[in-house]
Structure 1
Amino acid sequence: MKRPCEDTTSDSDMDETIDVGSENNYSGQSSSSLIRSNSPTTTSQIMARKKRRGIIEKRRRDRINNSLSELRRLVPTAFEKQGSAKLEKAEILQMTVDHLKMLQATGGKGYFDAHALAMDFMSIGFRECLTEVARYLSSVEDLPNGDI
């Protein structure tokens, strides 16, 4: 049985065939009775399949990136580091694992306690505000005294 070789990269190589042999022919037909189909429809179907694979892969990457950005927002340590620099995907996943281990060690009560969660986000907000004030004051110190 002959089938088109799909592992090639160029369009001109699409017409190559690989002889698989009659031992793989399960339909009961002989190899000579099979008709080789290299019509434009087959080539266009292959191209359409490759295009669909690319679209599916893009959607998969988008879902992964959306989930990672949501994890970055939900995990307090990742949320705190967010302003300083862009976090790598591996860092976000590691912080999530560490956070879940901490929750498991505390019996799951850690950040699910509303008061503890509010206090944690309040301290994160306070630190972010302090950083912004320090940045502003350092930029103002560079100005001449008459500009304040």
Structure 2
Amino acid sequence: MAEEQQHSASSAVEHPDNSNVNGENGATDDNKEANTEYQKSGWLMKRTKLTHKWKRQWFCLKKTQLHYGNTENNVNKVISLEGTEISEAHIDKKPYVFRLKPQESSRVHYIHAENENDQQEWMQAICFAKATGQHGDHSQACIIQ
């Protein structure tokens, strides 16, 4: 298992392709208004609250909120990222898991990526969204524990 590390998201998140950037179809600045603007979207596994089973969910990062649901068209749950702690997690002997702990909630969300690259991309994107959504001093770096 990879040793826990701290990362700073002080620069923009790089995406290898445009399928997960600025909307479902890689929307340009000209047609952003027509489409819902996503900073990142895709399939991840999420640990359920009651049964602790892993369930495949579609995630969309929009501004300072992480939306998720059963399908791309049924994204009906939201995790607010303002004040949320993000860190790598080691749970259920699964690799590539990260944890989100919202400030206003006692709930902890465990999310499992398919590989290390996806895990790091999601954690950086969430961290960057969280940092840019802060009120006041925008120079604060987001720390991934």
TM-score bracket for this pair, using the shorter chain length = under 0.3
Structure with greater strand percent: 2
Structure with greater helix percent: 1
TM-score by length of structure 1 reads: 0.23
TM-score by length of structure 2 reads: 0.24
By relative contact order (CA 8 Å, sep 6+), the higher-ranking structure is 2
